[in-house]
A and B are shown apart, each in its own frame.
Chain A
Amino acid sequence: MKQLGKQTWQFTSRPAILGASSVVGPEEGDGPLAADFDFVYDTLKMNENTWEKAERRMFEKAVRLALMKAEIKQEELEFFVGGDLMNQIISASFAAKKLGTPYLGVFGACSTSMESLAVASMIVDSGGAKYALAGTASHNCTVEKQFRYPTEYGSQRPPTAQYTVTGSGCAVITRNDGTQSGPFVTAATIGKVMDFDIKDPFNMGSAMAPAAADTIMAHFRDTGLSPGYYDLIATGDLASVGLPITQELLAKAGIPMEQTEFTDCGLMIYDRERQKFVIAGGSGCGCSATVTYGHILKRMKKGQLKRVLVVATGALLSPLSYQQGDSIPCIAHAVALESGGEQA
């Protein structure tokens, strides 16, 4: 591994994603990307009696599916890096208990998807493991319960509000011995905490937009690349409010984002015209995880995309911090994915 600039790791061995899984709830299964997900639950309860158990079940299902698709046995897995949005990241820890592998729990709010992928890739790239699993999950009802109101409470959500994705995504990363066909994890840019004093937890897009812009700027500054290098740059969950703000910030910074397709996972996962309840779009760590591991990786395998930069955004607030009047600190982590072919 090589450090580029101040914030970017270049994975010189190009660890490969051996298998990746995406499991979602009923609303995501009704969205435009439904065909790309490996498994769709028909109910939010998922035959469990609590929301937390449902999230855990979904996470465990995604772990099992990722191992199955990577065609490795559970005993072969050497590392698990995971996290979720629950207090003390319980869903990831319970999934780790079932796995029985060494485990590092990570928390980056909704950026956990790319944070775990970056850390797992670093472990594999530096020779710390042959197979490492990165994964995350979020459930609409557990998040509503923890961060906002009871799920059945009748409150009117403002037009800037987003809808937490019920979904889990996992990926098995392996050492690149030249036989893998990819996609490969080539670089990761670790973000800095950005806070522009946005205090409204129903306005996550505005809060997170500067973090996404800063990480994208850092990525191009550190690597010396320009946006045109990528076929797709996707932010995690900025949705309809945050994405245009990030676009404006990047335009002001002179980053030519028009060279590439620049979009947001929170806008891709739902059909906002038809699924009006999502309001501004999707959010949650399951959002960027399922869109990346389900939709984007499938498009890469089909050859429609060669190089992709996923910039997962996270709002690092707690229910306590915003009730005490604190602003919302935000972060974004970027991971560069490249499909095989040109360099083994």
Chain B
Amino acid sequence: MPAKTKRSGVKLQLDSLTPQVYKQMAKKHEPSRPVFKNCIRAFLSGGLICLIGQAVQQVFMANFDMTPREAASPTVAVLILISVILTCFGVYDKLAQWCGAGTAVPVTGFANSMCSAALEHRAEGIVLGMAANMFKLAGSVIVFGVVAAFIIGIVYIFLGHGGGHL
């Protein structure tokens, strides 16, 4: 290697830097999550999805002579279908980057988590790939949903008397 320049004096040894000091230093350069902006976006987009759901429900009620309770199931099915179609066309994940919790919390987020995992693992086979991995992300929602329902059920047994029926 030709033309050596003068030896540079190394002052700081990284070995002497502690993780705590480093994390503080690094934090200055890390942009934080825009929590307020994310909340506003989630509120607007989540609200919009619910508004669409409400509109679909009204259509079912007006055209098929359904009660609000009867119209609930087909409404959810329509939202799931829309979510799955958007996931398959590769649109849902792009919407989610803007919407955040707005697309994750409603039923559409659940459908997306199942559909995306099924699509992704289809290559590993129908049984061990798609079927086994379908609940990879959604499974935790089911587990905690069941646990929460169980706890609420127990609370209802003790406190729910006189509280009317569901």
Indicate, yes or no, whether A interacts with B.
yes
- Which A residues form the contact surface with B (CB < 8 A)? 10, 49-52, 145, 149-160, 186-187, 194, 196-198, 203, 205-206, 209-210, 213-214, 217, 220-221, 223-229, 241, 244-245, 248-249, 252-256, 277, 336, 342-343
CB distance from A190 to the nearest CB of B (A): 16
Type the 1/0 row for B22-54, where 1 means its CB is closer than 8 Å to any CB of A: 110110011111100010000000000000000
Q: Measured between alpha carbons, how far is A309 from B87 in the docked complex, in Å?
A: 43
B14 at the interface (CB under 8 A from A): yes
Q: A52-B123, A205-B30, A220-B8 are in contact. List 10 more A-B contacts (CB 8 A).
A: A152-B88, A156-B99, A196-B19, A210-B14, A224-B4, A224-B7, A245-B26, A252-B11, A252-B12, A336-B1
B120 lies within 8 A of chain A by Cβ: yes
Contact A154 B93 (CB under 8 A): yes
Q: Are B7 and A154 in contact (CB under 8 A)?
A: no
Contact sample, A vs B, 20 pairs, CB 8 Å cutoff? A149-B116, A149-B137, A152-B92, A152-B119, A153-B116, A156-B100, A159-B31, A159-B33, A187-B1, A197-B19, A198-B26, A206-B29, A209-B26, A217-B14, A221-B8, A223-B1, A245-B29, A248-B29, A255-B8, A277-B97
Known: A154-B92, A224-B4, A225-B4. A254 touches B11 (CB 8 A): yes
- B143 near A: Cβ within 8 Å? no
Instruction: Give min CB distance, B85 to chain A, whole Å.
Output: 12
The CB with the most chain A CB atoms within 10 A, among B8, B34, B38, is that of: B8
B155 CB to closest chain A CB (Å) equals 32
A121: min CB distance to chain B, Å: 14
Instruction: Output the least CB separation between A344 and chain B (Å).
Output: 12
Which residues does B use to contact A, with CB under 8 Å?
1-14, 17, 19, 22-23, 25-26, 29-34, 38, 87-88, 90, 92-97, 99-101, 103-104, 109, 112-113, 115-117, 119-121, 123, 136-137
Expressed in whole angstroms, the Cα–Cα distance for A229 and B74 within the complex equals 70
Q: Across the two chains, which residue of chain B brings its CB closest to A11? A: B1
Residues of B with C-beta under 8 A to A254: 8-12
Nearest to B7 among chain A residues (CB) is A224
The answer to whether B115 and A213 touch across the interface, beta carbons within 8 angstroms, is no
| Cβ contact within 8 Å between A214 and B14 | yes
* Chain B: minimal CB distance from A227 (Å): 8
- Given the complex, which residues of A lie within 8 Å of B137, measured CB to CB? 149-150, 153
- Are B7 and A253 in contact, with the CB atoms below 8 A? no
Within the complex, which residue of B90, B101, B104 is in contact with A152, where a contact is CB–CB below 8 Å? B90
Residue in chain A with minimal CB distance to B117: A150
Q: 10 smallest A-B Cβ distances: which pairs?
A: A154-B96, A150-B120, A197-B19, A152-B116, A253-B12, A150-B116, A254-B11, A153-B116, A156-B100, A159-B31
* CB-nearest residue of chain B to A154: B96
Chain B residue numbers with a CB within 8 Å of A256 are 8
- Determine if A154 and B109 form an interchain contact, defined as CB atoms under 8 angstroms apart: yes
The listed residue with most B CB atoms (<10 A of its CB), out of A49, A196, A217, A221, is: A196
The minimal Cβ–Cβ distance linking A191 to chain B, given in whole angstroms, is 11
Interchain CB contact under 8 A, A245 and B5: no
Chain A residue nearest to B88 in the complex (CB): A152
Smallest CB separation, B74 vs chain A (Å): 24
Smallest beta-carbon distance A328→chain B, Å: 12
Q: How far is the CA of A159 from the CA of B31 in the complex (A)?
A: 6
| A159 contacts B38, C-beta separation under 8 Å | no
Select A226's contact among B8, B13, B34, B100, beta carbons within 8 Å. Answer: B8
Q: Would A196 and B4 count as touching, CB distance under 8 A?
A: no
Residues of A within 8 A of B29 (CB): 205-206, 241, 244-245, 248
Q: B96 to chain A: which residues have CB within 8 Å?
A: 153-156
Residues of chain B with a CB closer than 8 A to A158's CB: 33
* Distance of A182 from chain B, by nearest CB (Å): 14
Q: Give the residue among B1, B3, B33 with the most A Cβ atoms within 10 A.
A: B1
Question: B10–A253 contact, CB under 8 A?
Answer: yes
B9 cross-chain contacts in A, Cβ below 8 A = 254
Q: Which of A156, A214, A343 contacts B97 (CB 8 A)?
A: A156
